[in-house]
Amino acid sequence: MTVKRRNHGRNKKGRGHVKPIRCDNCFQACPKDKAIKRFNVRNMIEAAAKRDMSEASVYDAYDVPKVYYKQQYCVGCAIHSRTVRVRSRKDRRNREPPSRFRRDAKKPAPAGKPSA
């Protein structure tokens, strides 16, 4: 029988059965090893409220705690929300993680102009 993925779309490897989880979007039951899992890290308060709190605060520098929320999606919802993308047969062989997107990364200076 032809096989689309070498792990059959799961991360089970000899466990036999895995308990299901519920998708955060559609509440569909999906095996825990098959679900697409992502961590969402956010500040506890938004930027406008953060500025108001820092002005009213007694402390000079106070780091607002972050909320770490684990999101679990079924395959259909992860594709629909573009958390993961469909890849071609050749690209499916690539097992390296995608390059990380960094917001604070320095942009390279345009050619011919020295950076100041």
Task: Count the residues in the chain.
Answer: 116
Q: Alpha-carbon distance 30 to 11, whole Å?
A: 13
- Return the percentage of the chain with pLDDT > 90, whole number: 54
DSSP 8-state class, residue 106: P
pLDDT at 4: 87
Confidence of residue 23 (pLDDT cuts 50, 70, 90): very high
Structure confidence by residue, pLDDT tens digits, 31-78? 999 999 999 999 999 988 888 888 888 888 888 899 999 999 999 999
